[in-house]
Amino acid sequence: MVLELTRDLSYEEKYERFMERIEAGERIEADDWMPDDYREALIRLISMHAVSEIMGALPEKEWTPKAPTLHRKLAIMAKVQDEMGHGQLLLRVAEDLMKPLGKNREDIMQDLFSGRLKFHNVFHMKAPTWGDAGIIAWLVDGAAIITQSMSLNSSYGPYARALQRICAEEVFHAQHGESIILALAEGTEEQRSMLQKSLTEWWPALLMFFGPKSKENVGKSHVNKNIKYKIRTKTNEDLRQEFFNKYIPRIKSIGLEIPDKTIHFDEEKGEWVYEQPDWNEFKKIVTGHGPMSEQRLSLRRDSYQNTRWVRDALASRGKEA
């Protein structure tokens, strides 16, 4: 009904109605009218989230066969399968949004390969030890849960629904990570030092995960627009503080040392004060110049090329049918 009515309205009137729906907390669906910059913001966010899930499976894949016991092997296999499933689910949401623009999944993949479409900073990093596999599952997934939970009530219905499923599974991943971490923390001297080393190396990347505090740090930012459209509800700094609240006590309780001597909770301000990571480094990483950016991208790019004949074969059958 709403669709019928809006057809004869001017752009400004449609926009006004749209914003009324957003303000009222209504869910926008794929076929509803939406302003171009809302659609663009969603495509940018969701396709980045989708490829981050897919690229995020690669550092963990390095550890899938090496997982030390049969039980851990099964758990990590289940986890990377989930991550791929999340990537697939999100790609479908992004594809629906791109359809009116005449674009499809091939465009997303090509944008990823060309570096136009970015993926999360953490997945550009090296993961050289089993301790890293634990830190990724515990703290990177923990950070992801915090970011994604904020969008569970996103104004865009299909994204909100996808996130509900994703968050439910991420909780299991974080538990799987915590269990790896506890085994190492309670283990031998060598296991403990492996774990501490991983935490030390991952710490700046974890802080960067939430993005810069304000746009002065890196230039352009889409946070404000996304908040206006209720795609997200919190700022990067809100999320980072939530992460500190949740994980700093846990990290300390298992006897690990946070590699930031200055970090403390400022009672007056009611927030954690910490050493800023190197935001220039962040910019370098997310634009594809991180330690593993090229290697992981080319893994994906080459394999996409190697299996082109398979997709061609499937497409040729599609034409006949």
The nearest distance, CB 91 to another protein, in angstroms, is: 6
The nearest distance, CB 217 to another protein, in angstroms, is: 32
The nearest distance, CB 257 to another protein, in angstroms, is: 22
Q: Which is nearer to another protein, 30 or 77 (CB)?
A: 77
The nearest distance, CB 115 to another protein, in angstroms, is: 18
Residue 214: which residues within 8 A CB-CB, separation 6 or more? 221, 237
Tell me the DSSP string of 127-192: --SHHHHHHIIIIIHHHHHHHHHHTTT-SBHHHHHHHHHHHHHHHHHHHHHHHHHHHHHTS-HHHH
Q: Which is nearer to another protein, 3 or 310 (CB)?
A: 310
Q: Which is nearer to another protein, 112 or 286 (CB)?
A: 112
Distance (Å, whole) CA 245 – CA 263: 12
Q: Which is nearer to another protein, 24 or 321 (CB)?
A: 321
Distance (Å, whole) CA 98 – CA 91: 10
Q: Which is nearer to another protein, 265 or 304 (CB)?
A: 304
Q: Which is nearer to another protein, 24 or 314 (CB)?
A: 314
Q: By the criterion CB under 8 A, which residues form the site for another protein?
A: 54, 57-58, 61-62, 64-74, 77-78, 80-81, 84-85, 87-88, 91, 130, 183, 186-188, 190-191, 295, 298-300, 302-303, 306-307, 309-314, 316-317
The nearest distance, CB 320 to another protein, in angstroms, is: 9
Buried b (16+ CB within 10 A) or exposed e, 192-220: bebbbebbebbbbbbbbbbbbeeeebeee
The nearest distance, CB 159 to another protein, in angstroms, is: 18
